[in-house]
Amino acid sequence: MIEIETIPFTRMHNNTHFEFGLQTILQINEFGAGPSAMDIQAQFNTYKTAHQKEDDAFKKIKKSEISDRIADLDKDRDGITSYLFSSIRNAQKHYSDEVVNAAKRLMVVVNTYKKLTRLTYINQTSETRNMLQELKSDKYKNDVALVRVRDLVDQVEILNNQFADLMNERLDESAAKNQDDLKQVRNEVDAAYNVIKKSIDVGVILNGAQKYEAFIIKHNLLIDQYKTMMATSGKRKDGK
């Protein structure tokens, strides 16, 4: 008797699991008159709702409750960085030639990192560390002292370290909370899929295979494709 093959959902990567659900929905929609052709309209609606929840859960992984704090701290970091740059630029107009020459040397660093505040969070954090290493190096530390921006350099470092810590906190929070949410939603999706599978398999027994055969053959090809993919994907790494 023809029936839908089983597939080990628990072995799927998160992105693979989501894509399989998407392909399943497309196959059912494209089959004849859609889910009503196999008398699974209600079951299909439940599955689509669960799949949408899975999509939403993926999006939550990229966000967290501390996102606003991160944005505020980034603004503070941008502000003090911009003030540091402008202070060095203005020092080129100082009455002391010694300060002017020191400021001009520091402008090499400013020009190298002038687009720093436009970078992404992660890139800005990394590039800020690089800039701070230069300003605190033997090459520039005396110039920093002459231009009297050491306090600003220290403040940029403090804010950058705080920002990095907050980003790590968000990653830890997402891993703990959002991954649990996603696991629960995946279970809901799997349960809804199994109801569809059982309804179709029972339909074959009660009504004969003709009504379902074309879909089962096509869907089993999809299942075989994903089984092959899982068999060759190597060690599991969760994440969309």
Strand ranges, E, within the chain: none
Residue 64's pLDDT band (boundaries 50, 70, 90)? Answer: low
Residues 6+ apart with CB under 8 A from 168: none
Percent of the chain with pLDDT over 70: 90
d(CA 53, CA 219): 23
Percent of the chain with pLDDT over 90: 72
Residues 6+ apart with CB under 8 A from 178: 57, 60, 61, 64
Give the pLDDT confidence of 173-202 residue by residue, as tens digits: 555 566 667 888 999 999 999 999 999 999
The backbone torsions φ and ψ at residue 118, rounded to the nearest 5 degrees and listed phi first, read -95, -5
pLDDT(238) > 50:
no
The answer to whether the predicted template modeling score (pTM) of the entire model surpasses 0.85 is: no
pLDDT at site 32: 84
- Counted residue by residue, the chain has a size of 240
Residue ranges covered by each domain of the chain:
9-63+175-231, 67-172
